[in-house]
Amino acid sequence: MNNIKACIFDLDGVIVDTAIYHYKAWRRLANSLGFDFTEQQNEQLKGVSRVRSLEIVLQAGGITKTDAEKDQLAAQKNAWYMEMVNQMTPAEILPGAREFVQSCRDAGIKTALGSASKNSMTILEKLQIVHLFDAIIDGNKVTKAKPDPEVFLKGAEALSIEPKYCVVFEDAIAGVEAAKAGGMKAIGIGDPKVLYEADLVVSGLNEMTLDKL
């Protein structure tokens, strides 16, 4: 992997672990509808858009809803999720994340955020790391969810760097697939058995150094 000119980072599961808050909010929603939602079932929601996540949750409970009801349920889940996000502090940045993004910048490598979350900006503000990214592409700026490469291609375009010089950091299978579909390198954050399509897998950004790029 040489000639890397840009690093594009997923947010949830790479920079910060919001999965627990997503899970608590989805479980609260499921409980309000009369069924439970396990942490294991929640695994299917990682990297998946809010609308698609709701469909998976409703399916788990064997429940059908109209589009209008789905809009209302997604809004309710998001309100509960945001109650937790609003309590977040910089202490929740995952180990090594801030340091690695900063080391990229110090080495002249461009940095972007590429996340499905429509709440990315609020989370980055809570963590006080907005300034670490040259471009921020979030769920409000894309129409196609990962594994479609749109979010990362828009990131590369915003940085004016060709996809082949970009590397994406991702904890979700769909995200690794999106990076590869966009003609980029992918570094998985997590289990190599799960993220086997990635060019390299590390357990966290605390394990990353520039010479691994």
Contact footprint for ligand BG6 (CB under 6 A): 11-12, 22, 45-50, 53, 78, 115-119, 139
118 binds, options Mg ion, ligand BG6, none, Cβ within 5 to 8 A by partner type: ligand BG6
- For the question of residue 211 being annotated catalytic, the response is no
Distances in Å between the alpha carbon of 6 and those of 1, 79, 122, 180, 207?
12, 34, 23, 15, 18
Query: HEC profile for 163-198?
Result: HHHEEEEECCHHHHHHHHHCCCEEEEECCCCCCCCC
Contacts of 20 (CB under 8 A, 6+ apart): none
Neighbours of 52 (CB within 10 A): 15
Site for Mg ion in 140-199 (CB under 5 A): 171-172
Residue closest to 7 by CA, chosen among 92, 146, 99, 100: 100
Instruction: Compare residues 69 and 212 and give the one whose CB is closer to ligand BG6.
Output: 69
Q: Establish if 138 lies at the interface with Mg ion (CB under 5 A).
A: no
Residue closest to 13 by CA, chosen among 204, 171, 198, 191: 171
- Amino acid in position 161: I
Stretch that binds Mg ion, among 7-15, 20-28, 94-102, 149-157 (CB under 5 A): 7-15
Instruction: Compare residues 28 and 118 and give the one whose CB is closer to ligand BG6.
Output: 118
- For the question of residue 12 being annotated catalytic, the response is yes
Stretch that binds Mg ion, among 13-21, 60-68, 140-148, 185-193 (CB under 5 A): 13-21
Stretch that binds Mg ion, among 41-49, 140-148, 150-158, 180-188 (CB under 5 A): 41-49
Instruction: Compare residues 103 and 194 and give the one whose CB is closer to ligand BG6.
Output: 194
Q: Of these residues, 10, 36, 148, 171, which one is catalytic?
A: 10
Neighbours of 11 (CB within 10 A): 24
Residues in touch with Mg ion (CB under 5 A)? 10, 12-13, 47, 171-172
Catalytic residues: 10, 12
